[in-house]
Amino acid sequence: MNVPDMTILPLNGRTVDLRLGLVTDAAGQVSTLRPQAAAVLGVLASRSGTLVTKDELMQIVWPGIAVTDDSLVQCIKEIRGAIGDDKRQIVTTVVKRGYALRAEAPDGALKAPAKGAVTPLMSPSEQPMSIAVLPFKNLSSDAEQEFFVDGMTEDLITELSKGPGLFVIASHSCFTFKNKPTDVRQAAKDLGVRYIVEGSARRGAGRIRINAQLIDAHGGGGHLWADRFDRDLADVFAVQDEVVACIIEALLGRLAASKLHGRKPTKNIEAYDLLVRGRFLWQRSMFEEGKEARRMFEQAIALDPDYAEAHAFLAWTHWMGWTNWFEPEDLHRRLSLEIAERAVALDPDDGFAHLVLGWVLEYERKYDESAAQIDIALRIDPNNADLHAMRTDLLVMDGRPLQAIESIARAMRLNPHSPAWYYWLKGEAEYAARDYVGAIKTLRHEATYGTPSRSILAAALAQLGHIDEARFEARLFMADNPDFHIEPFLDTQPFRVQADRDHFAEGYRKAGVRE
C-alpha cells in the first residue's frame, strides 16, 4: 500500500495525518486514531473510489496474524467517528465484501466508488514470478563441505533476489526445509510461491559439480529448466551467476537476464570458506559466536583485502561491539564506520554493504546520509527481507512507526518463517506506534519471547497498566541482562525525536527496569 507516500489526507472538512494517526477538525480539535485504524484508512485512501475487500484489509493491516472480522469492524467504526461520518457516506460498506472510501473531487464534492471495482493485493502464491530456492544437497564425501554448499545456496538466493519483477523468499525460510524429505508442491504452498529451485553440489579435488532445476509447482510440477555444471572450483562464482541467469531467462526472458548486475566476489576460495562459516556463526546471534565470526571475517580479509562482503560483515560486528557487547565505544564505533565505508567503496553494487553503512550512519545520527544508503540498497536488492526488517528499526528511530510496521510486514512476507529478531522489531514498532496490545501479542510470540525483546514487552504491559505482569517480565529481563540500565542504553539509540526516546524510557521506568 502507498500509505508512506500519503502522509496528510484532507477528508470531510478534516485533516488526517496518517503517520501520526491524528485527525484535526475545522475548529482545531484533535482526535487520535489507533495505528491499525490509521493503517486501514491509509489503504482505503490509496485506493480511493474502489472497493477494498475485507480479506485484503486483514492481510495488509494484520499480516500473518489471526484476527476476527470484529477487529476490522472496530477500526471502521473508529474512522467514521473521527471523521464525522455518522451517515456512512464517506466510508461505505459493501455487504459481505468490504469497504470503499468515497474520493473527494477538487470542488470538495464526494465521488461515488466505481461499482464493483477492486484492486487486489496479490499474495506471494498469486504473484506469477514468486520463487524459492530450497537448500542444495551436499553430495560431497566430506561432511565439512556442508558449509560451502549452504553458503552457495544463500548466494544463489541473494543474486536471484535482484532479478527484476521477481518475488524471492529469504534464505532463513528456505532453510527450514534443510535435511527434510520435501515435496516441492507442499514447499511451494508453505512458502507461498509458484516456482521452486532445487539442486545439489559436489566439491572435491579442485572441482565443483552443480545440478539445478527450476520447477513450476503450480503447473503440475513440471521442469522449466534443468542443467548440470562441471567446472574448476575457482569458477564457482561464475557458475552461480550462470545458474541465476538461466533461471531468470526461463522466467522473464533473455533481455531481463542480460540486465543483471552481479556482485564482486572473491577469487580466493579459502576466503570464501571463512566468510561462509562466519556468516553461519553470525546468524546464531550469540555473543561468543559473534566474536568468533569477527575473527573469520578478519581472516578472510587478510587473504583477500578487496573482499567487500567480508568488510561489510566485519563492520557489523564492530557496531555490535559498542552497542551490544559492551566493548570500548570509541574504538569499535570508529572501526564500524571506517570498515563499512570501505565495503561500499570496494563494491558499489553490493546492496548488503550499503545496508550496513546505512545502519552505521543512523547510529552516527547522520539521518539523511543513512536514508540515502538504504535507498541504494533497496534499489539494488528490493527482495532482501533482512533489509526491510532492519529498516524497521531505522524508521522507528526516525519517528515513523507506521512506516516501520509496514516495512516489517514486507519483511515477513518475504521471510514467512521469520526469525526471532523480526518479531522483536515488529513489537518495537508497535510499541513506538502506541499499539501496546499489538506489541504484547507480538512479543509473546514463541519465536522471540524470552529474548532481550522482553524489555519492550515489559514496557508495553506497563503502559497498559498491567504493572504486576510488567514488573515480572522486567525482573526476568534484568536477570538475563545484568548490565542493562535505561539511560546508558538509550544513549546508544539514535532517536531523532526526544519525545520518542522519552516514550521508551517511560515504559521501562513504569515496568521497574533499573535506571
Most confident option among 56-60, 214-218, 394-398: 394-398
Q: What is the pLDDT of residue 13?
A: 81
Of 285-294, 361-370, 390-399, 484-493, which range is least confident?
A: 285-294
Most confident option among 17-31, 93-107, 201-215: 201-215
- Longest CA pairwise span in the chain (Å): 80
Residue 141 pLDDT level (bands cut at 50, 70, 90): confident
Of 103-107, 178-182, 271-275, 443-447, which range is least confident?
A: 103-107
Average pLDDT on 81-90 reads 87
Topology of domain 269-511, CATH: 1.25.40
Residue 264 pLDDT level (bands cut at 50, 70, 90): confident
Tens-digit pLDDT profile for residues 404-436: 998 999 899 899 999 999 999 999 999 999 999
Concatenated DSSP letters for 274-332?
Answer: HHHHHHHHHHT--HHHHHHHHHHHHHHHHH-TT-HHHHHHHHHHHHHHHHTS---HHHH
On the question of pLDDT at 52 being above 80, the answer is yes
Comparing 259 with 274, the larger pLDDT belongs to 274
Measured distance CA(290)–CA(314) in Å, rounded: 10
Q: What is the pLDDT of residue 106?
A: 39
Residue 111 pLDDT level (bands cut at 50, 70, 90): very low
Residue 305 pLDDT level (bands cut at 50, 70, 90): very high
Q: What is the pLDDT of residue 381?
A: 86
Average pLDDT on 13-42 reads 79
Tens-digit pLDDT profile for residues 54-85: 888 888 888 767 677 888 998 999 999 999 88
All 3 cell numbers of residue 363? 547510529
**C-alpha separations of 462 from 36, 128, 437, 444, 470 in Å:** 21, 45, 11, 15, 5
Tens-digit pLDDT profile for residues 456-492: 999 999 999 999 999 999 999 999 989 899 999 999 8
Comparing 53 with 111, the larger pLDDT belongs to 53
* DSSP designation for 387: H
**C-alpha separations of 84 from 36, 106, 207 in Å:** 19, 20, 71
Average pLDDT on 144-162 reads 86
Comparing 257 with 211, the larger pLDDT belongs to 211
Q: What is the pLDDT of residue 333?
A: 96
On the question of pLDDT at 120 being above 50, the answer is no
Comparing 50 with 179, the larger pLDDT belongs to 179
Average of per-residue pLDDT values in the chain: 85
Domain boundaries, the chain: 3-121, 125-258, 269-511
Average pLDDT on 431-442 reads 93
Of 147-161, 209-223, 406-420, 465-479, which range is least confident?
A: 209-223
Helix (H, G, I), strand (E, B) or coil at 128: coil
Topology of domain 125-258, CATH: Rossmann fold (3.40.50)
Q: What is the pLDDT of residue 109?
A: 40
Residue 26: how many CA atoms within 13 Å on its side-chain side?
Answer: 4
**C-alpha separations of 119 from 47, 48, 123, 511 in Å:** 7, 10, 13, 44
Of 55-59, 316-320, 356-360, which range is least confident?
A: 55-59
Q: What is the pLDDT of residue 179?
A: 86
Q: What is the pLDDT of residue 222?
A: 72
Measured distance CA(253)–CA(465) in Å, rounded: 58
Q: What is the pLDDT of residue 127?
A: 55
State the virtual CA torsion across 408, 409, 411, 413 in degrees, nearest 10: 170
Instruction: Quickly tell me which residue has 495488509 as its cell.
Output: 60
Q: What is the pLDDT of residue 253?
A: 65
Of 293-297, 379-383, 440-444, which range is least confident?
A: 379-383
On the question of pLDDT at 129 being above 60, the answer is yes
Comparing 29 with 226, the larger pLDDT belongs to 226
Q: What is the pLDDT of residue 483?
A: 87
Q: What is the pLDDT of residue 174?
A: 93
Comparing 511 with 245, the larger pLDDT belongs to 511
Concatenated DSSP letters for 188-204?
Answer: HHHHT-SEEEEEEEEEE
Average pLDDT on 273-287 reads 84
Q: What is the pLDDT of residue 259?
A: 56
**C-alpha separations of 331 from 315, 335, 337 in Å:** 12, 6, 10
Tell me if the domain spanning 3-121 has CATH number 1.10.150.450: no
Average pLDDT on 301-310 reads 96
In sequence order, which residues have a C-beta less than 8 Å from that of residue 499 and are 6 or more positions away? Answer: none
On the question of pLDDT at 318 being above 90, the answer is yes
Measured distance CA(14)–CA(28) in Å, rounded: 9
On the question of pLDDT at 307 being above 90, the answer is yes
**C-alpha separations of 388 from 131, 193, 355, 392 in Å:** 18, 19, 10, 6
Q: What is the pLDDT of residue 113?
A: 38
Q: What is the pLDDT of residue 2?
A: 36
Q: What is the pLDDT of residue 444?
A: 94
With helix as H, strand as E and coil as C, how does 235-284 read? HHHHHHHHHHHHHHHHHHCHHHHHCCCCCCCCCCHHHHHHHHHHHHHHHC
Q: What is the pLDDT of residue 126?
A: 46
* DSSP designation for 221: S
Measured distance CA(376)–CA(358) in Å, rounded: 9
**C-alpha separations of 259 from 153, 244, 245, 254, 512 in Å:** 22, 12, 10, 9, 56
